[in-house]
Structure 1
């Protein structure tokens, strides 16, 4: 299953990249939402090879997910590989400078099942794909507005 979204942000590409690369902020956000996150491998400067493990609830069941930075190409792209029991994922984040003060942020996420229970989970997600895609786009839009505010106010 693949889902993608994109959003134009009123901030320079370097500022947007730095805000997306603020992994500590994302760790704190996840913990505030009840997700247990542990950084298992930390590479200097957030380079390729940094890894996290998280315990999350998906459809009412606890899932253990491992995430690794697969690509870190400043300031144009980031790629993350994720694995869990029965499922693999790849998330690609691309940054495109539209002007000196505007950046297009594109996110593509693909999930692939390795086991029958994972296939059933993916199938249930596919049935609600339109709703899932709308929520994904809405959250990216909210995140983009937050990044614009942070850039404008120097936070």
Structure 2
């Protein structure tokens, strides 16, 4: 199942890239939402190969996923792979400079089942495709608004990509 959404952010591409690649901040944000996050790589600087293990509750069950950064091309593209016992997913974030102070963010996610239960779950999502697309689009709009708000804050000198 493939999902895609585009949103515009009122911020320069360099600032948006700095916020998108501030991985420590995203880790803290996930932890505030109840996700247990552990970094599993030994890289000193942000780059391809960064990896995390995450545990969280979803639909009354504990889920475990492994995330790996598979692409990082400043300041335009980043991709991550997610692997769990039930699904494999890839997410790609592309930043396109529209003007000096406007950036378009394009997010695509592709989900593939790895189990029968996941296959049935994805089939039910396909049947409700319009609702799933609306929810995905709303979540990307929320992500874009968060990027815009965070890009207006001063960037820490030790932040990734700064």
Same fold (TM over 0.5): yes
Which 10-residue stretch deviates more, 124-133 or 32-41? 124-133
Kindly indicate whether the alpha-carbon contact (under 8 Å) linking 1:2 and 1:108 is maintained by their aligned counterparts in 2. Answer: yes
Alignment of 1:58-137 (within 5 A): 58-137=58-137
Q: In the alignment, is residue 53 of structure 1 matched against residue 56 of structure 2? A: no
Cα offset, 1:92, TM superposition: 0.5
Per residue, is there more helix in 1 or in 2?
Answer: 1
Q: Which has the higher contact order (CA 8 A, sep 6+)?
A: 2
Kindly indicate whether the alpha-carbon contact (under 8 Å) linking 1:42 and 1:49 is maintained by their aligned counterparts in 2. Answer: no
Q: In the alignment, is residue 40 of structure 1 matched against residue 40 of structure 2? A: yes
CA distance in 2, matches of 1:87, 1:20: 24
CA distance in 2, matches of 1:113, 1:76: 29
Can you list the C-alpha shifts for 1:29-78, whole angstroms capped at 9, x where unaligned? 11111111111114232100000011122322221100000001111100
Secondary structure at the aligned position of 1:46 is classed as: coil
Secondary structure at the aligned position of 1:18 is classed as: helix
Q: How many residues align?
A: 155
Cα offset, 1:153, TM superposition: 4.3
Q: In the alignment, is residue 8 of structure 1 matched against residue 14 of structure 2? A: no
Kindly indicate whether the alpha-carbon contact (under 8 Å) linking 1:48 and 1:70 is maintained by their aligned counterparts in 2. Answer: yes
Secondary structure at the aligned position of 2:45 is classed as: helix
> CA-atom RMSD, angstroms?
1.6
Which 10-residue stretch deviates more, 44-53 or 71-80? 44-53
CA distance in 2, matches of 1:29, 1:6: 22
